[in-house]
């Protein structure tokens, strides 16, 4: 059964809907289920929704729908969710990754930090299924969880100025993939040849909140072959 959401105004054209105050799969499923329900309802005046770990931002045009009307419509959808108990089920997406070396400069540190061999870190990281909680930071960057306790590692004390697109990193219990070159402080353990963000495609992001991600270790040759294939 769904716990009641908390509705908060953000300025004069946005509504924030919170499900609890902790990050967990249950809260995130509620966020995504409500986001999907709003999309299906096609409520006039809603311009954009942004799902996060435990909250949903709804941006709207106050000249087309009043704040009170918006809350009433969204609460009706929430009540329907509570009665039907929907499950927000995403796709299962496999991400190929070449671990270590120039592609994963922090793999050795993560291994040393936990008294493991690099191969064990790779096995633990690729042996989990990860939920995409949200996209953020830069377009298409997926925040995913949770990594095994044995390899949960703090961020860099000083972020790198440039992290290559496709870099796979760890930050505490989270794992993520840099969708484009950007500054960042995550511990980089590998890189995928897949392109996570392409503004010329629809949808522009490879992953969406609610998707389940698995990582598949590949060789450097396979990585290079995939890159070459994409540039032909």
Tell me the per-residue pLDDT of 140-198, one tens digit each, with 9 for 90 and over: 999 999 999 999 999 999 999 999 999 999 999 999 999 999 999 999 999 999 999 99
- Distance, in Å, from the CA atom of 152 to the CA atom of 79, rounded to the nearest integer, reads 38
Tell me the per-residue pLDDT of 125-134, one tens digit each, with 9 for 90 and over: 999 999 999 9
- Among 12-21, 38-47, 67-76, 79-88, name the one with the lowest average pLDDT: 79-88
User: For a pLDDT cut of 70, what percent of the chain falls above it?
Assistant: 95
Length of the chain: 232
- Distance, in Å, from the CA atom of 124 to the CA atom of 50, rounded to the nearest integer, reads 31
How high is the pLDDT of residue 3? 58
Tell me the per-residue pLDDT of 199-214, one tens digit each, with 9 for 90 and over: 999 889 999 999 999 9
- Distance, in Å, from the CA atom of 173 to the CA atom of 120, rounded to the nearest integer, reads 17
pTM here is 0.87
How high is the pLDDT of residue 133? 95
Q: At what angle do helices 25-41 and 67-84 cross, to 10 degrees?
A: 120
If pLDDT is split at 50, 70 and 90, which confidence band does 90 have?
Answer: confident
Question: What domains does the chain contain, in order, with CATH numbers?
Answer: 6-84 (3.30.1360.40), 92-231 (2.40.100.10)
If pLDDT is split at 50, 70 and 90, which confidence band does 43 have?
Answer: very high
Helices (H), 9-89: 25-41, 67-84
């Amino acid at each position: 059964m769904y716990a009641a959401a908390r509705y908060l105004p953000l300025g004069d054209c946005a509504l924030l809907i919170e499900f609890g105050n902790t990050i967990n799969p249950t809260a995130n499923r509620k966020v995504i289920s409500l986001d999907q329900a709003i999309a299906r309802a096609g409520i006039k005046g809603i311009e954009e929704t942004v799902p996060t770990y435990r909250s949903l931002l709804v941006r709207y045009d106050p000249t087309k729908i009043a704040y009170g009307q918006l809350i009433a419509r969204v609460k009706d959808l929430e009540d329907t969710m509570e009665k039907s108990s929907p499950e927000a089920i995403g796709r299962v997406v496999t991400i190929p990754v070449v671990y270590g070396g120039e592609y994963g400069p922090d793999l050795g540190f993560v291994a040393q930090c936990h008294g493991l061999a690099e191969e064990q870190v790779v096995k633990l990281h690729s042996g989990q299924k990860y939920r995409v909680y949200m996209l953020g930071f830069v377009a298409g960057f997926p925040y995913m969880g949770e990594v095994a306790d044995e390899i949960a590692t703090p961020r860099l004390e000083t972020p790198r100025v440039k992290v290559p697109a496709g870099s796979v990193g760890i930050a505490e219990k989270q794992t993520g993939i840099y969708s484009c070159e950007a500054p960042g402080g995550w511990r980089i353990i590998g890189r995928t040849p897949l392109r996570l963000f392409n503004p010329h495609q629809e949808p522009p992001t490879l992953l969406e909140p609610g998707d389940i991600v698995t990582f598949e270790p590949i060789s450097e040759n396979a990585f290079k072959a995939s890159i070459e294939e994409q540039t032909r």
